[in-house]
Structure formats: structure tokens, C-alpha cells
Amino acid sequence: MQAVASFKRWLFRLHGPEPAPIVLTQRRVYVLPTKAGLTYAAALGLMLIGAINYNLSLGYALVFLLAGLGLVALLHTFRNLVQIEISPGRVEPVFAGDLAHFGLQLHNRRKQGRCAIRLNFEGRQTVMSDLAAEATTSIGLPIHARQRGWFRPGRITLDTHYPLCLVRAWSYVEPDMRCLVYPRPETFAPPLPLLATGESDGSRAGQGTEDFSGLRTHQPADSPRHVAWKAVAREQPLLTKQFTGASTTQVWLDWDALPTGLGIEARLSRLTRWLLNAHAQGLAYGLSLPGKAIPLGQGARQLQDCLEALALHGS
């Protein structure tokens, strides 16, 4: 099997992820007849034998006409694929088990449009697209992300049977693209491990929401709800509102505090669910993993940092 894989890599020039843009040059496009094409050729052979046997001039003309049509179809099928330019697009993170959509940009360099271009990831779901003349088309290829961490889709096959389905032209590309896959959130997780801090008499500043106490410099982990937008409208630096007089509910998600019977993936799944719940409730939360700790914070950036740490744990 390894020898076969090595031969295919040599034959189809597969050497791992390629830098963008990837251009389908003539040496990268392969052409072979389809079943319909083989049947067409066999029928022409029988017609030629009949024309020779009965010495039919019109038979010769018809056979040569149809043979020329087949050669023209082969040329057009080849030209329908060659010189397409492929560049990777945007890929959004997903949770394990969901569909990851890998964006691709297909640029048609020719002044003629291209029809019925098919793309798929190694035999998975196929996407078909038409390319306008001298234009760029964006498509998304869906593929199931089964495991957390960085996910590379691998080889992409582009092929076409246009215009007569007598021949198939195809090529392989492997753009340098990847998707970050988060752990799958636990479906029925225990309640959040809440921790209430602060003083009820309002004698110290905190992250409560009772009484406004002033402004301070904005930090990336601050919630957008506490940004002083009026100050921003007056072209002042980005500031965050401070409040006093309320206790702050915090969530500290600690790997070591989870039950000892949980496996690694089960722990990550539970922590992921707790992170999503804490973010949805607008709480301040932090994360502690073996070898990595993320301090308390809020907002989309805090959620992204924590989910990325969970996705790449142990990798």
C-alpha cells in the first residue's frame, strides 16, 4: 500500500499542501475516456467496418465526421479545466462532529466561461460550479470534522465531463488550509461551578453592575457592554465603565477539579459546555488546564482563547 501511495504521489505530483495561488497548468490536467466515450469509440469502429465491407463513401464520411466530433470534444473538455487558478478562502472554526466549510476562490483567466466544474475532497460530497469569463467564483466545500484540533482536508479533486461526457478531465490540488475544531460540548452537563466574590456594602470596586464609579483604559477581555461608547463617539480613547456595590459572579473552570473518572475527551467536552454557558450568561470566567491557564475575563476574545486552548490541548 505504501508503494502504491508513493507511486500516486509521484504520478500526480502530490507533495503536500501547496502555497497559493495554485494554477492548473497543462501538465497537471489528465484526460481519459468515460464509459460513454468507450462505447462511442466502439460504435465508430463497427460503423467503419461496415463502411469498409460495403464500400460506402457516405459511411466513411459519417465515421470521420463523428470521430472529428469526438476529438473536438476531448479538446474542449481539456480546455474547460486547464489554467484555472485556485486560492484558499476563509474557514470558520467548528465543533467536533459538525460540517466544516472550506472556502475556495476559483479564478477563470480565460475570456470564455467554464461549465460544470466539479470539486470534492477525496470522494466526499461533490460541489458543482460554473465559472464566468475572467471572474472569480467563491465556493464552499463541506466536510465532517470528526476530531478536535487542527483539521486539514487533504487532496481536492477537480474534474469535468463537459461538453459531451465522452471524456473526463481531472486534476488534484492540495491548498494550504486548515480548520480549528473545538471539542464537542457535553449535552447534559452539571451546573456551572459559580464563585461569588466582592463585598455587598459596595466598599470596593469590582465588575458589578450596580453603581457607576468611573472609567478606565479598555482591555481586550472586557465585555463590549461595558465600553463607554459615548466617549468613543467624541473621538476619545477606548474606555471601559467601572461599577461598585455589587458582588461579581465568576466561573473558574479547573481541569483538576473535575471527577477523576472522566477521560480526557469527556473533560474537554464538559469544560466546553461550561464555557459556552458562562459566555451566554455574561459571566467572568477563567480556564485552568495542565500546563496552561487563562485568567478571568469576558467577551468574544476570551471565549475564543479558551476554546482554542481546549481544542489544542495535548497536541
Structure confidence at residue 20 as a pLDDT band (50, 70, 90): confident
Query: Does residue 46 sit in the same domain as residue 67?
Result: yes
DSSP string, 239-268: EEEEEESSPEEEEEEEGGGS-TT--HHHHH
Q: What was the pLDDT predicted at 208?
A: 47
The DSSP symbol for 30 reads E
pTM: predicted TM-score of the whole model, two decimal places: 0.74
Q: How does the average pLDDT of the chain come out, rounded?
A: 84
Q: Which residue has the higher pLDDT, 95 or 248?
A: 95
| CA–CA distance, 142 with 99 (Å, rounded to integer) | 6
**Per-residue model confidence as pLDDT tens digits over 91-133:** 999 999 999 999 999 999 899 999 999 998 876 778 999 999 9
Residue 96 near residue 147 (C-beta atoms within 8 A): yes
Quick one: 83 and 156 in the same domain? yes
Is 65 a domain residue?
yes
| Judgement on whether residues 261 and 231 belong to the same structural domain of the protein | yes
Determine, yes or no, domain membership for 218: yes
Mean pLDDT of 161-169: 94
**What single-letter amino acid sits at 263?**
G
Mean pLDDT, range 237-256, rounded to an integer: 71
Q: Please tell me the predicted confidence (pLDDT) of residue 203.
A: 34
Task: Please say if the pLDDT value at position 4 is more than 70.
Answer: no
Do 145 and 293 reside in the same domain of the chain? no
Q: What is the mean pLDDT of residues 53-75?
A: 94
Count how many residues are written for the chain. Answer: 315
Judgement on whether residues 269 and 135 belong to the same structural domain of the protein: no
Q: Same domain, yes or no, for 198 and 159?
A: no
Same domain for 199 and 50? no
More confident residue, 214 or 52: 52
By percentage, how much of the chain surpasses pLDDT 70? 79
Give the separation between CA 172 and CA 213, rounded to whole angstroms. Answer: 62
d(CA 47, CA 59): 7
Does residue 189 fall inside a structural domain? no
State whether 70 and 213 are in the same domain: no
Indicate the residue among 138, 158, 181 that finishes a domain: 181
Give the chain's domain count: 2
Domain carrying residue 253? 194-311
| 195 sits in which H/E element | strand 194-197
162 and 228 fall within a common domain: no
147 part of a folded domain: yes
The strand pairing partners of 156, in sequence order, are: 121, 173
